Chains A and B, each alone.
Chain A
């Protein structure tokens, strides 16, 4: 069990939790993830470790309430326990070449850049973070991210903050020399369509790009094989071989399709949970 020490609403559907998990915090490296289960009968879902504090033995994780489990999690408060939390899982991010690293966070994926870009900055890399959302109010962790990189670039679809347009459009400008410098490597974390678009943006320029894949998982230790993805025509298990893969080698079409395997069941489960919470409200 992991006790919740802090909870912040970053957007109406995005919650940040700081939880007590000393063993995981001590072992965590940037880019790794945990698997949580929030109630009896609940699913096991992977969540990227946004940040960790070894001294205080805490982990920071950010959750977007999109399905049954994330909603249950979003309803937890300070002092509550996360029923099960295991990790750190997956391989830590490795960016070999020093230089100008651009981290791109779409939606709540921005949170995952926290410990990752801090470590790269500390290593001496020049760091740029590009985060994007529909509108200003949905951009998260702006202050925290600004602190840990050399340049923070904001993008909004409606132009309410920063660049008006998608993160990929801003990235393309950087590649064209319009911005804080041409990237030597790119790391993208966020929704699959965004990571896919980033991949296409850097492909022709030949800029090494890593994406953090989040396929469906159960155990997270290589036991079930549910998270298999095809990278460079080889089948990999994202839980143990990933979550980071060479973006230009990833079979995104397959990854997107596999992630939609349970769309109908996810909808059914969510509606049921909503009905239940309505029924509870009427009592």
Chain B
């Protein structure tokens, strides 16, 4: 791979391939938690930035849920103006270091990229991450901003939707407090996404940037339990509330043996490691039980995170068991690719029907049935149909279910008049993100059901604008 270091080229280079992301060796990394992608250096970043065609009509922006002016920041990188790039990026997205790492760019901005019609699209995600990492290496900026408006806003939940909403509201001058139920902020970014994909140092840094904007974060308070939603208005004087409580209610399959010892939800498995540091047991006090073989049911990003985490905490075999085929898998291409490199086994068209256990109640195997693809179902994907008589047993020591999450019902159960649909998702007006309650807004997975970090961030951002408008009427 040739490199051109310094010097600004004025004309773009129409190269076929994107500049590769340096990655840690798969064998080494599958035993530790150090980040897999090492990030571009300045030379690689400028080299890649120069691939941008500078389209008159930059369609990449349409693919971005937070509408980052992509060509502008990419051009700043090409010109070597990293501070300028950082400013442009941050004005549109308060969490660039996170989104640059975990966004599915291949189905968003990069899918739209004009270069993609003939070549590989510009690596917009890698560039976003580069700029944010560069910013992280710089000395801290100015002192925390002071609110300019009197109306206080409470944000429930410190996941991506809540963080972005709070950041935007602070930028608009409102005093903002985020209430988080766990002992550390970040929501799914903290308990769900593993260190090797999103180092917690990066998350902490991004949260610090929000604090510098004036956002206050209060942990260990569960709205709906510790304090009611009504009390936020009546007792605590908030003028508006944003609900960003996410989708944190794990689904189980309802097959026999799910309560055997050694069966986890992906949420529990990942939380033990990411939030509670079970990988460091017994230095940390929370253990995680991992045998030689771990089967993860599901094939989304969470399933990939789970199976790769299982390898890192000592499993010799990590298996993905999925009732559909690799075509229907919802995980990002990069995560799937990394999982293959790390030796994960994939059992496609395989549907678990029972978790088997020994006389002491410990998992010994996963009984499955082979599937074949039939007609498309309501999701548009081919419906998997069981092949009669094809049952077989995969011997495993652990089973982790990663088949999705629904919104957590805690707030709904304790708040009169807050409306939800049959899946427990909060009902909001499309334009304003307002819920069935006045001055109560919502966004992210709590509204859509389990989706992506960037969609939550986008929802948080537009809700912030709606809240600002509501309060300034």
Contact = CB atoms under 8 A, between A and B. Distances in A.
A42 B275 CA distance: 11
Contacts of B220: 84-86
B289 interface: yes
A214 to B, nearest CB: 16
A228 B226 CA distance: 23
A225 interface: yes
Contacts of B265: 224-226
Contact of B267 (A27, A84, A223, A272): A223
Contacts, number: 119
Main secondary structure of the interface of B (DSSP, over half): loop
Interface in B169-214: 181-183, 191
Nearest to A1: B220
Which of A23, A225, A265 neighbours the largest number of chain B CB atoms within 10 Å of its CB? A225
B285 A224 contact: no
A208 interface: no
Interface string A218-250: 110111111010100001000010000000000
Interface in A68-94: 68-69, 83-89
A55 B470 CA distance: 37
A87 B225 CA distance: 7
A23 B250 contact: no
B79 interface: no
Nearest to A260: B261
A258 interface: yes
A123 interface: no
Contacts of B225: 27, 87-89, 221
A170 interface: no
Contacts of B267: 223-225
B285 A68 contact: yes
A268 interface: yes
Interface residues on A, range: 35 or more
Contact of A23 (B227, B259, B360): B227
B123 to A, nearest CB: 34
B259 A258 contact: yes
A44 interface: yes
A263 to B, nearest CB: 10
Contacts of A43: 276, 285-286
Interface string B273-294: 0011100111111110100000
Nearest to A83: B183
A108 to B, nearest CB: 20
B422 to A, nearest CB: 18
B258 A235 contact: yes
A221 B248 contact: yes
A93 to B, nearest CB: 16
B436 to A, nearest CB: 22
A221 B410 contact: yes
Contact of B282 (A24, A223, A272): A272
Contacts of B282: 265, 268-269, 272
A41 B280 contact: yes
A18 interface: no
Nearest to B285: A43
A224 B409 CA distance: 14
B272 interface: yes
A163 to B, nearest CB: 35
B229 to A, nearest CB: 13
Interface in B369-407: none
A224 B289 contact: no
Contacts of B281: 265, 269
B331 interface: no
Given A41-B284, A86-B181, A222-B248, A261 B276 contact: no
Interface string B292-315: 000000000000000000000000
Contacts of A68: 285
B420 interface: no
Interface of B: 181-183, 191, 219-222, 225-228, 248-250, 252, 254, 258-259, 261-262, 264-265, 267-268, 271-272, 275-277, 280-287, 289, 360-361, 408-410
Interface of A: 23-24, 27, 37, 41-44, 68-69, 83-89, 218-219, 221-226, 228, 230, 235, 240, 254, 257-258, 260-262, 265-266, 268-269, 272
Given A221-B410, A225-B268, 7 more contacts: A23-B221, A85-B220, A221-B408, A222-B409, A240-B409, A258-B259, A265-B282
6 A-B pairs with the lowest CB-CB distances in the bound complex, closest first:
A265-B287, A224-B268, A223-B248, A84-B183, A86-B220, A225-B265
23 contacts: A23-B227, A27-B227, A27-B228, A41-B284, A44-B276, A69-B285, A84-B183, A84-B220, A87-B222, A87-B225, A87-B226, A88-B225, A221-B248, A222-B249, A224-B265, A224-B267, A225-B252, A225-B264, A228-B252, A235-B254, A260-B261, A265-B282, A265-B287
